[in-house]
Amino acid sequence: MTTMTDPPGRGFRLSQLIYDTRYRSMTIQVVAMILLMLLFSWLVSNTIHNLQNLGKDFDFGFLSQPSGYDINQRLIDYNSQSTHGRAALVGIINTVLVAFLGCALATILGVIAGVLRLSNNWLVSRLMAVYVEGFRNVPLLLWIVLIFALMTESTPAPSAFRGENPDSTMLFDVFAITNRGVYIPAIHFGTPFFDNGFFNWLLVLIVLGASIFGIQRLRHWATEKQEATGARPTTWYFILGLLVIPTAILMVLMGAFWDIPSLQGFNFGGGIHLRNSLIALWLALSLYTGAFIAEIVRGGILAVSKGQTEAAYALGLRPGTTMNLVILPQAMRVIIPPLISQFLNLTKNSSLAIAVGYMDVRSTLGGITINQTGRELEGMLLLGLFYLVLSLLISGAMNIYNASVKLKER
């Protein structure tokens, strides 16, 4: 009788962790993990230790303390008795404002410059090349400071507008361009539905949104009619009416009037004050990022096969129509992913605002607040968190857009 026995089980030996390929990769990962955790624990314990040495604690309580300083550009209520937290919020809104304005203008500049750089017109394409290379190859900070200096040094002070025969006069009697910024007329409401201007504007926006929705329905209807009968009904006056009339009626009801800037005391008063710091930062960010976007757009257009252009011309389309209907839509899927990076760059670069005294979140939370309270670590962590969240939001929104325009394969 024979009995089958299992081959003698060879026990697990420690050396297998290194020499046995079944275990080796696990060993390496475990060791790397331990080292990584040690590094982090060392960083944290070192920070705690150093803070203790300095006699400091880790506390976010400063955010609810009165800030004590003023901020010139505030889009929400704020004064020097408000909290550091609110000062940070004012800064955040200012950052978002300049990032939004910058992204919008940079996209417009970039697309135009990118398309024109491929122009057959020698002069136009060379001019665009000069713009792109000029802005791409000089640091952004220099552009910000240069534009700010130009605006401060070359424009008149408000005092030049004073007197019987002033040295300077207002542009069209409504715009005042001074070395403290540009004053433009504002719309105010005489009989507000709400006390808060923000809600009044929200109401106007809602009506405008409803009008645009109506216009889209009208276009849809016209297209259906065209497909059914072959003739497209004339709709432009309906569209114009829908766009203007409801909003206009609402504005009149609310007693809207122009608030034109005028000399008051030391400065101009009334209207909207676009500070030099905002304009310099906005223009510099837009021009700088626009140069990069131009290259991205150029690359995107070149990525579309030349045959597409030729085919479109063969169908009798004009160059402008070809670009808008054939080339750009196809170029978009190449353009958008790098465009997202440029938007993120612009947003983060807005922290250079400190160079011209624009009160963004870097200047309020990351500058004055940290300086007055001595909470560097807490402030910088919050600042980092804010930029992280903002970048993720922008990137998320752009990725949704990207998914909607990318090549749909069936």
Partner 1 sequence: MKKTVILGALTVAGLAAGAASAATLDDVKARGNLNCGVSTGLTGFSAPDANGVWQGFDVAVCRAVAAAVLGDPMAVEFVPTTGQTRFTALASGEIDMLARNTTWTFSRDNDLKFEFVGVNYYDGQGFMIPKELGVSSAKELDGATVCIQTGTTTELNLADFFRVNNISYEPVPIETNAEAQQQYLAGACDVYTTDASGLAATRASFEAPGDHVILPEIISKEPLGPLVRHGDNEWGDIVRWTLNALIAAEEYGVTSANIGELASAPGNNPEINRLLGTEGELGAMIGLEADWAQKAIMANGNYGEIFEKNIGENTPIGLSRGLNAQWTDGGLMYSPPFR
3-state DSSP call for residue 46?
Answer: helix
Q: Which is nearer to partner 1, 267 or 308 (CB)?
A: 267
Q: Which is nearer to partner 1, 70 or 310 (CB)?
A: 70
Question: In whole angstroms, how close is the CB of 234 to partner 1 at the nearest point?
Answer: 52
Contacts (Cβ under 8 Å, ≥6 apart) of 193: 199, 200, 203, 254
Q: Which is nearer to partner 1, 192 or 357 (CB)?
A: 357
Question: Which token pair is 176?
Answer: 């005042």
Stretch that binds partner 1, among 118-126, 151-159, 302-310, 343-351 (CB under 8 A): 151-159
Question: Which token pair is 1?
Answer: 């009788």
Which ranges of 118-196 would DSSP assign to H, the alpha helix? 122-136, 140-154
Going residue by residue from 369 to 408, which x/- string records binding to partner 1, judged by CB under 8 A?
A: --xxxx-x--------------------------------
Question: Which token pair is 208?
Answer: 């405008």
Is residue 276 part of the contact set for partner 1 (CB under 8 A)?
yes
The CA distance from 142 to 148, in Å, is 10
Question: Which token pair is 15?
Answer: 């050396």
Q: Which is nearer to partner 1, 50 or 399 (CB)?
A: 50
Question: In whole angstroms, how close is the CB of 100 to partner 1 at the nearest point?
Answer: 22
Among 264, 321, 324, 399, binds partner 1 (CB under 8 A): 264
Q: Which is nearer to partner 1, 159 or 395 (CB)?
A: 159
Is residue 14 part of the contact set for partner 1 (CB under 8 A)?
no
3-state DSSP call for residue 178?
Answer: strand
Stretch that binds partner 1, among 7-15, 202-210, 342-350, 366-374 (CB under 8 A): 366-374
Q: Which is nearer to partner 1, 328 or 354 (CB)?
A: 354
Stretch that binds partner 1, among 74-82, 125-133, 136-144, 185-193 (CB under 8 A): 74-82
Contacts (Cβ under 8 Å, ≥6 apart) of 410: none
Amino acid type, 377: L
Is residue 267 part of the contact set for partner 1 (CB under 8 A)?
yes
Is residue 354 part of the contact set for partner 1 (CB under 8 A)?
yes
Q: Which is nearer to partner 1, 68 or 192 (CB)?
A: 68
Q: Which is nearer to partner 1, 336 or 370 (CB)?
A: 370
Stretch that binds partner 1, among 45-53, 118-126, 164-172, 224-232 (CB under 8 A): 45-53
Is residue 274 part of the contact set for partner 1 (CB under 8 A)?
no
DSSP 307-335: HHHHHHHHTT--HHHIIIIIIHHHHHHHH
Dihedral over alpha carbons 70, 73, 77, 81 (to 10 degrees): -10
The closest of 266, 294, 249, 253 to 125, measured between CA atoms, is: 294
Among 157, 184, 222, 251, binds partner 1 (CB under 8 A): 157
CB atoms within 10 A of CB 396: 11
Q: Which is nearer to partner 1, 157 or 260 (CB)?
A: 157
How many helices (H) and strands (E) are present in the chain, helices listed first? 14, 7
Is residue 164 part of the contact set for partner 1 (CB under 8 A)?
no
Is residue 359 part of the contact set for partner 1 (CB under 8 A)?
yes
Paired with 49 in beta bridges are none
The CA distance from 155 to 174, in Å, is 16
State the burial class of residue 370 (Cβ atoms within 10 Å of its Cβ: 0-12, 13-18, 19+).
buried
Q: First vs last Cα of the chain: how many Å apart?
A: 68
Given the rule CB under 8 A, which residues bind partner 1?
A: 34, 38, 42, 45-46, 49-50, 53-56, 68-72, 79-81, 152-153, 157, 159, 179-180, 264-267, 269, 276, 354-355, 357, 359, 363, 367-368, 371-374, 376
